[in-house]
Amino acid sequence: MRVPNDATGPISVSRTRLPSSTLWRYAIGSLGTGGFATLPGLVLVYYLTDTLGVTAIVAGLILTIAKVWDVLIDPVIGGKSDFSLAATGSRRRYMVVGGIALPVFFVLTFSVVPGLPATASAVWVVIAFMLCATAFSLFQVPYIALPAELTRRYDERTRLLTWRVVVLTVAILLFGAGGPLLRDLVPQNPYLGYLIMAVAAGVVLCVGMIVSSSVAPRDVPSPETRPTASLVQNYHGGIRALVRSQPFRALLATYMLQGLATGIMLAGAQYVATWVLHSETAVTLLFVALIAPALLLTPVWGGIAKRIGKESGFWFASIIFMIAAGSLVMLMWSPGWWVFVPVAVAGAAYAGMQSLPMAMLPDVISHDAARHGEGRAGVFGGLWTAGETAGMAFGATALTIVLTVTGYQESVGTELVTQSDAAVSGIVLSFSIVPACVMLLSLVPLARYRLRKADIED
């Protein structure tokens, strides 16, 4: 059915059960979003410090610059996406452009010429990664806005986002485990190894995003609706959305903090494998331990949400993850393969931490539209993407601060270095106690989220 949507024009919103084709075409986009969120978060800092010879603090600064840029452009892209919907009847154009551009810039990020000074390498990476962030936002922002436009039903959104997270966990496993394996095919030439990894990953990113862009509704825009918005108006729309929607503020703050926690652990996994478990390839096993339970249990979290509510299930998952992460501090005194048990428990909880807030976001968007008479799904999607990417990126930045404080030694190419006991302890703490404390902090805004099923269905 067609529903007027004020500033964003008419959109198609279904009250019926979504067809399977819509589910899988939307979900496959997470091959792109999950892949891009996982692989740079896992290997980019390590690439900078242990191949390009960039110091840990500068590596963190590179990620911070790229993600601050991301935060700045996401609300603008969100506003432009809303107006594109009104003017053309679809958000598809932005998604296609992002899906084509991201793989190109991703390969460029990991194509630094061997022998360049560390400073030149750092400049190369920061420019290429900022272009990556721009292309990613062009796809991700409208992609996040789509669930609110594909269905009005509370439980149907849970079903849609559950399958998205199933594909997301597959993407995390594929990129998180497969990426380092491809990189290590040529251990004698890490520059070539990273390039092989980036090319293979770029192909998968492109396929997932281009296919998923086909799910964006195509409506005929009203002839009289051709809105435009200035840069200031786009930012004003984002600020207004934050001010007027308390459920969105609570959900976004929770998700940002949890992104920070998981970002620290993600960036630290390669360091744990190398310097604590003394096996660079152990990072692949860590990802299998994390993602296999998540892949199996994502549909279970959907069932839990139907029984006790999305927000209660989100609480449950967050607490389990926090306990599992905190227990990893035992690596300080007893490093060993037992680490895969708490990592697997964290993986089971991580499935809920991803699927449930993503299913809660379209509820927040539709609730806001019902109260204020205008749909700004693109603006909310832009703010959400900014918060998500900022949380993950600042997690990697937090890791580089810990590495710097504890005296981590960078290296170039295949150069061998030795890390101090303090540096190794810093790696363990950044993989355990630090993310556990951030997870505990995330429960504060989660307690302020008060939107329930009755609010949505009414």
In a domain, 8, yes or no: no
Residue matched to tokens 């067609």: 2
Residue 341 amino acid letter: V
User: Which tokens hold the place of 60?
Assistant: 């963190």
**CATH code of the domain covering residue 164:** 1.20.1250.20
In a domain, 1, yes or no: no
Instruction: Give the pLDDT of residue 9.
Output: 39
Q: Which residue, among 273, 402, 448, has the nearest Cα to 343 in the 3D structure? A: 273
In a domain, 29, yes or no: yes
In DSSP terms, 3 is beta-bridged to 11
In a domain, 138, yes or no: yes
Number of domains in the chain: 1
Instruction: Give the pLDDT of residue 373.
Output: 62
At what angle are helices 377-405 and 340-372 packed, to 10 degrees? 150
In a domain, 229, yes or no: no
In a domain, 334, yes or no: yes
Residue matched to tokens 């990664």: 129
Q: Which residue, among 202, 454, 251, 221, has the nearest Cα to 353 in the 3D structure? A: 251
CA angle, 230 then 236 then 239, to 5°:
150
In a domain, 118, yes or no: yes
Q: What is the mean pLDDT of each run of 10 residues along the chain (458 residues)?
A: 37 63 88 86 87 88 82 79 73 89 95 92 94 91 80 75 81 85 89 94 94 77 47 59 79 92 86 85 80 81 85 93 95 89 92 86 79 66 73 81 86 71 91 95 92 66
Instruction: Give the pLDDT of residue 234.
Output: 56
Could you tell me the residue range of the domain that residue 53 belongs to? Answer: 20-217+234-457
In a domain, 450, yes or no: yes
Residue 80 C-alpha from the chain's centroid:
21
